[in-house]
Every structure is written in structure tokens, then in C-alpha cells.
Amino acid sequence: MDKYYGFGLPINISAHGGEIDKLIRIFHVFMLVLFVGWLIYFVIALVQFRAKKDSKALYHNKHYKLPTWIEVFVALFEAFLLVGFSFPIFHQFRFDMPKASESVVIRVVAEQFAWNIHYAGKDGQFGESMPKLISTENPIGLDQNDPAAKDDITTINQLNIPVNKPIIVQLSSKDVIHSFALPVMRVKQDTIPGQQIPVTFEAIDTGKFEIACAQLCGLGHYRMRGFFNVMTQSEFDKWIDSQTPKQEDASE
């Protein structure tokens, strides 16, 4: 699997990124062929139908079959791209979610202008969140009286995941439409107020990268920058261990 797409674009560290990059390459080649084809036709038209001395207008239509066949080929090829590539990739990574028991499930709550990250903790259960509890100190409205919330972990603009492990991110928004973008994972999904939208991906390499908001969400949009850290499983487990006591101490 290629790690670099090329043309100065971000590296790919996603298990499904190779398929997406391949589709992008196919689109680019197809657009290049169309561009060259139309350019050749344009030059031919300029030469053949240029102003000439003693030229006469044609009063009878000439029907050429080649343009029709070209249009049919383009339509069939586009249908092939949609049915053979785009739809299967979309279906696989939008509806064929991995099992939650075999994945790391994370809640990401967007707001103007930050990413609130919520981990379920060691018990694997998210504590209840309520809008009335939202405050500066509690940006997701986590109910600290809920037993399931005792070991929950929350961070702001800091998403940590283990490598070679399926990740399920439950996206939501507190205010307006944002767009959760992880360029190196080939992930981009709008967050819609009032909805929880699942996104799945799996990293194949470690490193430190960025979370971007790909939707203009207000005057402070430029500040909505997060940090995406892919760790080894042991590093991730140690990080979870280091964060859990802090949450428990804070609740005492």
C-alpha cells in the first residue's frame, strides 16, 4: 500500500486510504484525458472553421457518430466509477461498522471553536451527558453522579488512538455544522447539530498529526485546530492509565 499520494498531499496512514487514493488517481487521469481530448477538438475546430476567403455556408446538417460514441463511453465510464469504486468504498466505511467490542469507541463533540473528546474509560461505558450540565469546566455536560462517568476521560483538541486497532468515532455538535477532518486518515465528515454520526477508520502507522475543521463555522474557524496522536497499544494503555486517576481525583 502506498504511503504517499504525491503532489504534496498528506501521507496516508489509513487502512482504507489506499483505495481512496487509487480512486482519486483514476479521476485525475480521466480528467486529463478529457482535457486533452477537448483541447484537440478545440484546435481542430479553430483550424477547420476559421474565416476563409470565398467560404460558403453549409445548409445541410452533417451528423457525426464519433461524438455520440464518445459521450456514451464517458457516461458508461462514470457509471463504472460510481458503481465499481465509489459506492463500495462509501458503503464499506459508512455502514459496515466494526464491532464495538473489538474497537475503541470515542465520542467527539464539536463546538465553536474546539473539539471535545470523550473516552469511556476502563469500564467501556460512557457516562450520561446532559445539556443543562454544560459549562466551561464541563464542556460536554458529563453527569459526574452517573457511576459510569467515574472513569470517563475528556480532553480538548487532543485525540489519542492506538495503531492497528479499529476506531469508531461518534460525531456530534453543540452549536453549528462543523466538519471533522483527519487528512492522513482520509476521513472527513460533517457534524450535524442534533445528530450522532458514526465514522470508522484504522491507523497503520504511528505519529503526530492534526485535526482540522473543514467547514467554515464562524469567525473563530481558524482556531479550531486539534491534535491527532497515533500511539502503540502499550503507549495508549499507559496514557489511559495516567488519565483515569486524574478524573477520579477530580470527582472526589
**Separation CA 241–CA 185 (nearest Å):** 26
Are both 172 and 237 inside the same structural domain?
A: yes
Task: Give a yes or no: residue 37 inside a domain.
Answer: yes
Q: What is the pLDDT of residue 247?
A: 43
Task: Give a yes or no: residue 9 inside a domain.
Answer: no
Residues 6+ apart with CB under 8 A from 118: 106, 107, 108, 109, 126, 129, 140, 142, 152, 153, 154
CB-based contact 158:211 (threshold 8 Å): no
Domain hosting residue 166, numbered range:
100-251
Higher confidence at residue 177 or residue 21? 177
Are both 145 and 238 inside the same structural domain?
A: yes
Q: What is the pLDDT of residue 18?
A: 84
As for how many domains the chain has, the answer is 2
Task: Give a yes or no: residue 32 inside a domain.
Answer: yes
Q: What's the average model confidence in pLDDT over 113-142? A: 91
Are both 82 and 128 inside the same structural domain?
A: no
Are both 149 and 220 inside the same structural domain?
A: yes
Task: Give a yes or no: residue 10 inside a domain.
Answer: no
Task: Give a yes or no: residue 68 inside a domain.
Answer: yes
CA-CA-CA-CA torsion sign (16, 87, 183, 105)? negative
Burial (CB < 10 A; 0-12, 13-18, 19+), residue 219, is exposed
Q: What is the pLDDT of residue 5?
A: 55
Q: What is the mean pLDDT of the chain?
A: 86
Per residue in 21-58, pLDDT tens?
A: 887 888 888 889 889 988 998 998 898 888 877 777 77
Are both 132 and 241 inside the same structural domain?
A: yes
pLDDT at 167 over 80: yes
Q: What is the pLDDT of residue 21?
A: 84
Q: What is the pLDDT of residue 71?
A: 84
Q: What is the pLDDT of residue 113?
A: 93
Q: What is the pLDDT of residue 53?
A: 79
Task: Give a yes or no: residue 27 inside a domain.
Answer: yes
Task: Give a yes or no: residue 208 inside a domain.
Answer: yes
Per residue in 135-162, pLDDT tens?
A: 888 999 999 888 888 889 999 999 999 9
Are both 145 and 218 inside the same structural domain?
A: yes
